[in-house]
Structure 1
Amino acid sequence: MKHSKLYRMRKILLFAFSVFVRVYWYKFTKKPPAKWEQLWSKIGRDFRETLFDLEGLLIKIGQLLSIRADLLPNAFIKQIEDLVDHVPPSSWDDMKSVLESEWGAPIEDVLKDVNRVAVASASIGEVFKGTLKNGVEVAIKVQRPSIKEIIDIDFRSLAIIIWFADRFAPVPKGFINFKMLFQEIKRVIEREVDFKHEFDTIIKFKKRFANIGRLHIPQVFEEYSTSSVIVMEWVEGNRVTDIAFLEKNQIDRRELSRRLFRIFIPQWLEAGVFHADPHAGNVLVRADGTLVLLDFGMVGEITKRDAANFQTLLQTILLKNHPKTVEVLIDLGFLTPDADRKAIENLLKEMLAFNINELKEMDPFAIKKELSEIFYSLPVQVPTRFVFLGRSFVTIEGMLHTINPDQELVDVVKPAFLEWLNQSNQKKWKAILEWAIIQPISQFLHPVYELIEAPQRAIEQKQLMKQKELHFSMYENQKKQAFVLTVLGIISIFTGQYLASTFIYNGGLIVGSVSILGYIISSVRQIKWRRQYKR
């Protein structure tokens, strides 16, 4: 029943419709912030229940939405932030049929033996442990037989919801680019469903980190891997955050942290793909201290243009070249081309009132946190690839805290950062670092009162900047919705006359009358607001 097309679409659309109704009702009745917090928490719980009821693609969508704190209310995010992509396994006969179909031969011709109980079972595929004919133990990742049909159904449902939200969601125009959000989610999931992408990513990682010692990335077997099956070397190890294991094997935790951070620095700052889901289950450690990276299904990519823009962005921030900073943010996709550049420049001027010497003393995680707070406070929609990048950064930060709870992170990561800087051909990063070190204090030291007052002024300026667009868009949305309801009311009136149905006729008359009245009221309020705003 869960995979029935009609059932899934009805369940998804009814949930989305219920959210719209509840949100509009709360706006109409002007509920206080505490009530809104309760509403979004309840919507989050309902969403979570719907995900686990329908399984399939929706759990993956839930995971992607759980990292969009830049777009969704915190109360909603809290209910889904710990979603685990684990669903009951399919029957062995179904998975066996997929294997034999993809291999074009009986399973016995490829495998010496296989454990029929999945060692991992997620929404898109399952993993089995087996042994090849030559005796090599392998992990076999198999796509669920019905997943592509489910994805097609769910994307159709999601497209309807996005279309409706783009036109009728009670948010300021341009505040959330629903179409871009949908396309990014679709692109991420379609990439993850095609196992050829994961195969190619593993090959790229093996080549990229071939010269890094004490790092193991599983070997993949091309002759047995397809778009629906991927066969790779079976790897044993413990979670890198297993402190008892580290102590038992006398693994130097500080040195382990340095190596872990060294592996991810080039992924974050250089052009290429990066591991977007490096949780403790995907980062293992062996008894000899060797690190193991697993599961390359979810990755992001930094283009050469992105990497150059990152460097330019840091330069413009250090130089306080705010017009150029805005240009870079637009080029990176954080701001739309029609954004109010002057207003954002003024906001940046207030928010970036820092002392360059304080910046030298900050660790990379603190700098990242400050930049994140700036981005989230601006009227931006962070592209998904950068959300993945941020999640990767935060996840590794959490691991380092767990591995070295008593160590300052700057002392742990600084040697790895300097090692990367010296070994890589990153001349621009070196130039930025050297430039920051030699600057005199007086050139960048703002008056104390400016530093104290800047946060409050930034908040006030941000609110003023958004207020105009917020009010105008709200009134425009109300008028648009009233117009649509008026048209539906007129259609209902004619339909009632044609069918000689008093109920339909009267219903259309009521809807049309109320919506016309609503349109007039919204127009009057908008005119009054414009006059007040000008004053």
Structure 2
Amino acid sequence: MSSSKNQGSSWKRFKQIVSILRKHHIQKGMDPVKLRLILEDLGPTYVKIGQIMSTRQDVFSQRYCEELVKLRSSVTPLPYETILEVLESQYRQAPSEIFETIDEVPLGSASIAQVHAATLKDGRKVVIKVQRPGIYKEMEEDVELIRKAVKILNLSETLTSIVDMDTVVDEFWTTAQQEMDFRHEAASAKRFKEMYADVQYIGAPTIVDAYTTSHVLVMEYIGGIEIDDIVTLDKEGYARSEICEKLAYNYVNQIIDVGFFHADPHAGNLRIDEGKIVWIDFGMMGELTPRDRDLMKQGVRSLVNRDSALLVETILTLGTSNKEIDHAKFTVEMDRFMNKYINMSLSDINLPQMVQEMFAICHQYAIMLPKGISMLARSLITIEGTMRVLDPKTNIMQVLSSYEMELLNINWNRKLKSMLVKAVEAGEDSIELPIHAKHLMEALQKGQLKVNLNLLGSEVPLANLDRMINRIVVCILIASLLLGSSVICTTNMHPKLLGIPLLGVFGFLIAFGMSLWLFVKMLFLHQKNKPF
């Protein structure tokens, strides 16, 4: 019974989606503005997916990413009674037994959760982040419908030809699942707070573990001043240039030294409270592996040394592609990219423009970068915008210049450890080499040896070779028919047509038809590169 009910609900939702797509005339094609409007009409689930999509410039073109950033985060607030019901179901007791007061008017209402200010029984001021009831099931159903729509509407070609959209949707769904488990956000907030516990000018809210669940997050209330409220900051006597420099320095530190960074550093997630820059909302965090950080430093070294080959190697090592890359053309593009920025000082570089150009090149050659790198690219652009409002004179690249020596230095300790591990592995392999050789010879003697050969870039030459062989075969058949028909015509074979053996006439006609067919193929279809 429940299964048929679910199917009915899915069918109803599917018809609603189809009606919205018709409303926006999806059959006439897609463009960035139309996609944004469609996602807004489809509701909170699709708004969240669109926001995640906007962080992947390596997957979607720059036009789409810039437009999807405009998606509205705020949605219609839930009734206060619904919030109380969720709290009671999570705590299995009346919210009044835990909270002294809960503000009925929410501080914010987003696609996944709603936030209310409250006071605990012990007097502590807190913020309650309450997940919308049924949002997980709603998103799960919508994601399944998206997969079906991808196949029906062929959205892969509409949006991008780089990746399989099913893979992209899976990644988005994984990210959304993590964001819907507030215990994951609580762990990120505690990790961030511990990392910068000794930094006097950086802060983060304290998580109230006793009342935090997978659907409810309770944390310390942070008042203070919004970081883009420049009027109040000036009135309170804050030096905005100093705040901006410290913010940039801390963010660069998150990326280079720690490899764990806030992936959504817009002004709404930053406060100035009691002289501290306080980061809030840790639902979207990025992480870089030591390998990715080392490769990023290698990329900087390649830019400084004007080594385009090393830069190409770095990008290809970081990224993946599901189609063949023209390395020569890609190298030329990277040369052009470097020549544009190589003579500039770091403080003169427009970071958003540089990042977007780099991702445009990767998009052009179907190179998909790791999730952490793509999140970092979007977050750098976001924090640059936040800093520009706070103090237009400060450039994050100026702060990055103070890290220049660290970026260019090699971590010899890690390098020596890596070399030692490789040396041990090489020694083990050399000991086992005779055994492997013996097994190889035994397989060869028994006829069990198989070789899988994959020649990179061989598809086009092999297709041309196959086309040439086909033509040779056709030519041989034509020659054979002509030769055989000529021999038959010298005989007295019956029946005859105009005194010529009929079989010989048929042979000539078939040879003529095949010759005409071959001529047409070579003259017209060869220009379209169609094999025959």
Using the size of structure 1 for normalisation, the TM-score is: 0.68
Separation in 2 of the partners of 1:89 and 1:22?
34
Amino acid aligned to 1:201: S
Alignment of 1:11-90 (within 5 A): 11-13=16-18, 15=20, 21-23=27-29, 40=31, 43-44=34-35, 47-48=36-37, 50-68=38-56, 71-72=59-60, 80-90=68-78
Q: Who is 1:370 aligned against?
A: 354
| SS class of match (1:220) | coil
Contact 2:100 2:120 in 1 (8 A): yes
- Specify whether residues 389 and 365 from structure 1 end up closer, same or farther in structure 2 by C-alpha distance, changes over 3 A only: farther
Structure 2 residue corresponding to 1:135, chosen from 93, 111, 123: 123
Does residue 111 of structure 2 align to residue 123 of structure 1?
A: yes
C-alpha displacement at 1:399, in angstroms?
2.2
Amino acid aligned to 2:354: E
- Specify whether residues 270 and 8 from structure 1 end up closer, same or farther in structure 2 by C-alpha distance, changes over 3 A only: farther
Runs of at least 5 residues in structure 2 that lack an aligned partner in the other structure? 1-7, 413-458, 464-522
| SS class of match (2:237) | coil
Q: Who is 2:292 aligned against?
A: 306
Separation in 2 of the partners of 1:110 and 1:269?
41
C-alpha displacement at 1:320, in angstroms?
4.2
Contact 2:113 2:130 in 1 (8 A): yes
Contact 1:70 1:381 in 2 (8 A): yes
Does residue 88 of structure 2 align to residue 100 of structure 1?
A: yes
Q: Who is 1:292 aligned against?
A: 278
Separation in 1 of the partners of 2:208 and 2:394?
42
Separation in 2 of the partners of 1:91 and 1:383?
40
Does residue 339 of structure 2 align to residue 348 of structure 1?
A: no
Q: Who is 1:157 aligned against?
A: 145
| SS class of match (1:227) | coil
Structure 2 residue corresponding to 1:9, chosen from 3, 8, 14: 14
Runs of at least 5 residues in structure 1 that lack an aligned partner in the other structure? 24-38, 431-467, 473-523
C-alpha displacement at 1:40, in angstroms?
2.0
- Specify whether residues 167 and 212 from structure 1 end up closer, same or farther in structure 2 by C-alpha distance, changes over 3 A only: closer
| SS class of match (1:281) | helix
Separation in 2 of the partners of 1:213 and 1:234?
19
Separation in 2 of the partners of 1:105 and 1:158?
38
| SS class of match (1:188) | helix
Residue correspondences, number: 414
Contact 2:346 2:401 in 1 (8 A): no
| SS class of match (2:529) | helix
Separation in 1 of the partners of 2:199 and 2:48?
32
- Specify whether residues 178 and 57 from structure 1 end up closer, same or farther in structure 2 by C-alpha distance, changes over 3 A only: same
Contact 2:267 2:386 in 1 (8 A): yes
Structure 2 residue corresponding to 1:428, chosen from 400, 410, 414: 410
| SS class of match (1:140) | strand
Separation in 2 of the partners of 1:167 and 1:414?
41
- Specify whether residues 69 and 15 from structure 1 end up closer, same or farther in structure 2 by C-alpha distance, changes over 3 A only: farther
Amino acid aligned to 1:207: E
Does residue 162 of structure 2 align to residue 189 of structure 1?
A: no
Contact 2:352 2:381 in 1 (8 A): no
Deviations, residues 317-355 of structure 1 (Å, cap 9, x unaligned): 333444443332233225458433333223323432368
Amino acid aligned to 2:282: F
- Specify whether residues 72 and 231 from structure 1 end up closer, same or farther in structure 2 by C-alpha distance, changes over 3 A only: same
Per mean C-alpha deviation after superposition, the further-off stretch among 111-120 and 212-221 is 111-120
Alignment of 1:332-481 (within 5 A): 332-333=318-319, 335-336=321-322, 338-353=324-339, 358-359=343-344, 361-363=345-347, 366=350, 369-378=353-362, 379=365, 380-405=367-392, 407=393, 409=395, 414=398, 418=402, 427-428=409-410
Q: Who is 1:201 aligned against?
A: 188
C-alpha displacement at 1:232, in angstroms?
0.2
Structure 1 residue corresponding to 2:301, chosen from 312, 315, 337: 315
C-alpha displacement at 1:280, in angstroms?
0.9
**RMSD, matched Cα:** 3.5
Amino acid aligned to 1:294: I
| SS class of match (1:127) | strand
C-alpha displacement at 1:371, in angstroms?
4.8
- Specify whether residues 41 and 192 from structure 1 end up closer, same or farther in structure 2 by C-alpha distance, changes over 3 A only: closer
Contact 2:20 2:42 in 1 (8 A): no
Deviations, residues 15-70 of structure 1 (Å, cap 9, x unaligned): 568766323xxxxxxxxxxxxxxx626623xx52x434442311111222344455
Separation in 2 of the partners of 1:336 and 1:320?
28
Alignment of 1:209-224 (within 5 A): 209-224=196-211
Per mean C-alpha deviation after superposition, the further-off stretch among 104-113 and 332-341 is 332-341
- Specify whether residues 528 and 14 from structure 1 end up closer, same or farther in structure 2 by C-alpha distance, changes over 3 A only: farther
Amino acid aligned to 2:141: I
Contact 1:275 1:296 in 2 (8 A): yes
| SS class of match (1:428) | coil
Amino acid aligned to 1:12: I
Using the size of structure 2 for normalisation, the TM-score is: 0.69
Amino acid aligned to 2:17: I
Deviations, residues 477-496 of structure 1 (Å, cap 9, x unaligned): xxxxxxxxxxxxxxxxxxxx
- Specify whether residues 273 and 376 from structure 1 end up closer, same or farther in structure 2 by C-alpha distance, changes over 3 A only: same
Does residue 237 of structure 2 align to residue 237 of structure 1?
A: no
Percent identity (aligned): 25
Q: Who is 1:275 aligned against?
A: 262
Q: Who is 2:419 aligned against?
A: none
Q: Who is 1:331 aligned against?
A: 317
Separation in 2 of the partners of 1:112 and 1:208?
32
Contact 1:273 1:299 in 2 (8 A): yes
Amino acid aligned to 1:374: M
Separation in 1 of the partners of 2:222 and 2:130?
17
C-alpha displacement at 1:78, in angstroms?
5.9
| SS class of match (1:346) | helix
| SS class of match (2:410) | helix
Separation in 2 of the partners of 1:80 and 1:103?
37
C-alpha displacement at 1:245, in angstroms?
1.0
Q: Who is 1:448 aligned against?
A: none
| SS class of match (2:260) | strand
Does residue 243 of structure 2 align to residue 256 of structure 1?
A: yes
Amino acid aligned to 1:9: F
Which has the larger Rg? 2
Amino acid aligned to 2:298: T
Separation in 1 of the partners of 2:245 and 2:525?
58
Per mean C-alpha deviation after superposition, the further-off stretch among 74-83 and 212-221 is 74-83
Amino acid aligned to 2:71: L
Amino acid aligned to 2:122: N
| SS class of match (2:126) | strand
Q: Who is 1:530 aligned against?
A: 529
Amino acid aligned to 1:136: R
Contact 1:322 1:349 in 2 (8 A): yes
Contact 1:300 1:385 in 2 (8 A): yes
- Specify whether residues 234 and 365 from structure 1 end up closer, same or farther in structure 2 by C-alpha distance, changes over 3 A only: farther
C-alpha displacement at 1:265, in angstroms?
0.5
Per mean C-alpha deviation after superposition, the further-off stretch among 245-254 and 70-79 is 70-79
C-alpha displacement at 1:104, in angstroms?
2.5
Separation in 2 of the partners of 1:19 and 1:118?
36
